[in-house]
Structure 1
Amino acid sequence: MLDPKFVGDTIAAIATPPGDGGVGIIRISGKDARAFAATVFRPGSHTFVDFIPYHLHYGHILDGHGHEIDDVLTAFMPGPNSYTGEDVVEINCHGGRAILAAVLHEILHQGARLAERGEFTYRAFMNGRMDLTQAEAVAEMIHAPTKAAMHLAQVKLSGVLGKKIRELRTRLEFLRAQLVVAVDFPDDEVECLSPEELQQTSAQVRNEITLLLSAVDRTKAWREGALVVLVGRVNAGKSSMMNALLGRNRAIVTDQPGTTRDYLEETINLNGLNIRLTDTAGLRKTDDAIEAAGLKIGRELMDKADLVLFMIDGTIPLPADALETAESLDPEKTLVVLNKADLPLFNSGNAVPLLASNIESVTVSAKQGTDIDRLCERIRERILQGAGQPDPDELAPNARQAALLRHALEELEGLEQDTALGIPYDLLSVRLESACDLLSGMTGEITSNEVLNAIFDSFCIGK
């Protein structure tokens, strides 16, 4: 948890992911960053006098005994024109774990403190280098599952969302100022905001908030990926289908019923869309406690799924219990997969009872790979139904931001209703103040330490 009393410390951390790589970076930030780096750095050029800002300097990092640890490239970025707004030094080493640990040890030995999770970005926020929407966008960039999600995060990282929110809040603050005038000078001849103008301006801001919120659902699949769950009776071919979609043998495939007793989950990418593909236990009555627990989990996953692939063995009539399960599913988020089209006993008529329920079906052979590409295409189209490809300039709030916007929307709706009822202006200003505070919470101008810690604790160390 970040403690404001330590913000003045000079901090250091490994800024690249764990593991071995060609290059690894040690980041240092704080008033002593340059001094600490200079102490352990031996320049490779005899003309070197001091770190030139925004230049790479070649040299070596030495340990406490003067022995070389690694040859490096070092860059110094003075504050306030750095990522954190403080003096920052980045040391580019070879990416071995032992090398990075050794270089970091020497920096910490000079007096730097190991950075907390997200502390570099936290300092950038505290020093005014970015607002909270931009800070959150940093994490969203790092964890973006798709190129589209990366672009959505980039838009917010540029500050466009924060700017939009501040513009909306400014309009509401202007309304508050006019209400204050009306309350403080009720008998003076001061031009005052009419109830109609108050409602009109509130409605305009509310409509723009509604537009921002509409992007949350529209871009959810691109930002977070989608959950696709394979369900069906035992031996319907769910595990074979999972292997076919993955292009490799991930699930065990046998003729023995009940092979999948829990659930398996893997990620696939369908033309830029991330899919969490989950294979559940086959539907059947069982006295096996483990299998029964797996079936319970499968039902919970079906409720959470963005799309359910209901697998049917096309060589046998649809059993009554399978039909009962299928009919309980939402046709809008269900796709029937009629499997085993390669076998002589296959009969597409076995899917007729389900087709009567207006559930779309696709015929495939998971074992032979027949029409798997067509199935993938339909999965992608069904998940993105009504969403389409996101606009490169789309403003898509995250879950925390969307919650604040919804609350602000409620306050504005209440404001307009109260205005129509003739509620006094001094009481109406309470609604406006609440809406303004909620918008300020989005950009971080009014945000509790608990919220800040929750946000930055989700970052990796070194960012």
Structure 2
Amino acid sequence: MLDPSRAKDTIAAIATPPGDGGVGIIRISGPLSREIAASLFDAASPSFTDFQPYRLHYGLMHDRNGQRLDDVLTAYMPAPNSYTGEDVIEINCHGGRAILGAVLEEILSKGARLAERGEFTYRAFMNGRMDLSQAEAVAEMIHAPTKAAMHLAQVKMSGLLGEKIKELKLRLEHLRAQLVIAVDFPEDELECLSPEELVTVSSDVRSEIETMLSAMDRTRAWREGALVVLAGRVNAGKSSLMNSLLGRNRAIVTDQPGTTRDYLEESVNLDGLTIRLTDTAGIRETDDAIEAAGLEMGRELMEQADLILFITDASAPVDDEVLDAVRPLDKAKTLVVLNKADLPGFDLTNGEPLTDLGVEAQTVSAKTGTGIDTLCDRIRDRVLQGAGQPDPDELAPNARQASVLNSAMQELMDLEADAMGGIPYDLLSVRLETACDTLAGITGEITSNEILNSIFDSFCIGK
């Protein structure tokens, strides 16, 4: 948990992912950053006297005994114009785990402490370098699964969401000021805001909030990836189809019923859209408790899915068990896959009882790859149905921000109902104040320590 009482400590951490690589970066932030780096750094240039801001200095990093650790490039970014708003040093080492660990150990021995999760970005927020919506966008940028998600995060990192929230708050605060005047000077002949005018302004603000919430729903697949669940009877070819879609063997394929007992999940990129393919246990009657639990888990996943691929063996007629399995499914998010087109008994008419239920069907052979490219295109189209490509400047809130916006919108709806119901202006003013304070939770102007800790604890150490 981030402790505000330790906000003046000098902190350090490895800022690049674990593992071996060409380059690894160690970041130091705080009042001792420059002093610590200078005590461990030997510049290659004889003219070097001190770190110059925003320049890379080449040299050697040594330990407390003067033993050489690595050739490095060191950059110094002075406060307040750094990522954290404090003095920051970044040391570019070779990316080996032993090298980075040894350099970090020396830095910590000089008076820095190991940074907590998200502490660099937390300090940037606390020092006014970014608002809370921008801080959250940093994490969204790091974890963006697609290029579109990356652009959506960049929009928020630029501060546009925070600016929009401040604009909406300003309009509501102007309304509140007019209500306060009416309450404080009831005897004066001042032009007073009518309930109808108040409702008009409030509903305009609410409409803009609704636009942002609809953008969240519309862009969810781009930001989070889409869940596509493979379902069907045992030996219909679900695992073979998953392997074919992935282009490699991930699921075990056998003639033995019940091979997939719970579920397997892998991701595939379909023209910039991340699809989370989930292969579930084959549908059949079973006395195996583990397999029965897997079937129940599969049903739950189908309820959560953006798209259900119901695979059936179309080399034989569809029976009542398959029809009974498809009937309760949401047809708007179900795509029947008529598999085994390579077998002699394959007949498109075998799938007609399923399409008669109102579901779309696609023909493939998971074994030979016939129809797989067409199926991939159709999966992508069905997942994005009605969504399209995100607008480059679209403001799409995350789940926490959406919850805050929904709360503010509900407060404004109650305000409008109270205004038209003749509730006194002083009570309406309280509702406006609550709506403004709620919106302030997005930018972090009014946010509890518990919420801040939950946000920054989701970051990696070093960011």
> Residue in 2 aligned with 1:35?
35
Structure 1, residues 153-198: CA drift from partner, whole Å, max 9, x if none? Answer: 0000000111011100011011111111111111112222111211
> Residue in 2 aligned with 1:109?
109
Q: Displacement of 1:352 after TM fit?
A: 1.6
> Residue in 1 aligned with 2:256?
256
Runs of 4+ deviating beyond 2 Å: none
> Residue in 2 aligned with 1:360?
360
> Residue in 2 aligned with 1:52?
52
Structure 1 gap segments, 5+ residues each: none
> Residue in 1 aligned with 2:279?
279
Structure 1, residues 318-373: CA drift from partner, whole Å, max 9, x if none? Answer: 22122111000000110000111111111222222221221111011111100100
Q: Displacement of 1:15 after TM fit?
A: 0.5
Distance, in Å, in 1 between the alignment partners of 2:420 and 2:262 is: 57
> Residue in 2 aligned with 1:327?
327
Distance, in Å, in 1 between the alignment partners of 2:218 and 2:336 is: 24
Distance, in Å, in 2 between the alignment partners of 1:262 and 1:200 is: 53
Provide the secondary structure at the position in 2 that maps to 1:322: helix
Distance, in Å, in 2 between the alignment partners of 1:352 and 1:114 is: 64
Distance, in Å, in 2 between the alignment partners of 1:213 and 1:301 is: 25
Distance, in Å, in 2 between the alignment partners of 1:299 and 1:331 is: 15
Distance, in Å, in 2 between the alignment partners of 1:186 and 1:101 is: 70
Distance, in Å, in 1 between the alignment partners of 2:183 and 2:56 is: 61
| Aligned residue identity for 1:165 | I
Structure 2 gap segments, 5+ residues each: none
> Residue in 1 aligned with 2:11?
11
1:179 is aligned to 2:203 = no
> Residue in 2 aligned with 1:461?
461
Q: Displacement of 1:263 after TM fit?
A: 1.0
Structure 1, residues 361-405: CA drift from partner, whole Å, max 9, x if none? Answer: 101111110010000001000000000011111110000001111
1:439 is aligned to 2:439 = yes
Give 1:151-170 correspondences, 5 Å limit: 151-170=151-170
Structure 1, residues 99-157: CA drift from partner, whole Å, max 9, x if none? Answer: 00010011100000100000000000000000000000000000000011000000000
> Residue in 2 aligned with 1:383?
383
> Residue in 2 aligned with 1:315?
315
Distance, in Å, in 2 between the alignment partners of 1:104 and 1:319 is: 65
1:85 is aligned to 2:119 = no
1:451 is aligned to 2:451 = yes
Q: Displacement of 1:49 after TM fit?
A: 0.7
> Residue in 1 aligned with 2:228?
228
| Aligned residue identity for 1:390 | P
Q: Displacement of 1:315 after TM fit?
A: 1.4
Distance, in Å, in 1 between the alignment partners of 2:20 and 2:315 is: 51
> Residue in 1 aligned with 2:120?
120
Provide the secondary structure at the position in 2 that maps to 1:260: coil
Distance, in Å, in 2 between the alignment partners of 1:460 and 1:253 is: 37
Distance, in Å, in 2 between the alignment partners of 1:290 and 1:316 is: 29
Provide the secondary structure at the position in 2 that maps to 1:292: helix
| Aligned residue identity for 1:419 | A
> Residue in 2 aligned with 1:2?
2
- The number of residues matched between the two structures is 463
Q: Displacement of 1:433 after TM fit?
A: 1.1
> Residue in 2 aligned with 1:302?
302
Distance, in Å, in 2 between the alignment partners of 1:371 and 1:348 is: 14
Q: Percent same amino acid among aligned pairs?
A: 73
Provide the secondary structure at the position in 2 that maps to 1:125: helix
Structure 1, residues 277-325: CA drift from partner, whole Å, max 9, x if none? Answer: 0111110001112211111111111111110000111012222122111
Structure 1, residues 244-283: CA drift from partner, whole Å, max 9, x if none? Answer: 1011111111122222112111100000000110111110
Question: What is the alpha-carbon root mean square deviation over aligned residues?
Answer: 0.8
Provide the secondary structure at the position in 2 that maps to 1:310: strand
Q: Displacement of 1:424 after TM fit?
A: 0.7
> Residue in 2 aligned with 1:143?
143
| Aligned residue identity for 2:41 | F
Provide the secondary structure at the position in 1 that maps to 2:317: coil
> Residue in 2 aligned with 1:345?
345
> Residue in 1 aligned with 2:129?
129
Mean alpha-carbon deviation: is it higher for 179-188 or for 435-444? 179-188
| Aligned residue identity for 1:162 | G
Distance, in Å, in 2 between the alignment partners of 1:232 and 1:253 is: 14
> Residue in 1 aligned with 2:62?
62
| Aligned residue identity for 2:355 | L
Q: Displacement of 1:19 after TM fit?
A: 0.4
Distance, in Å, in 2 between the alignment partners of 1:110 and 1:256 is: 62
| Aligned residue identity for 2:156 | K
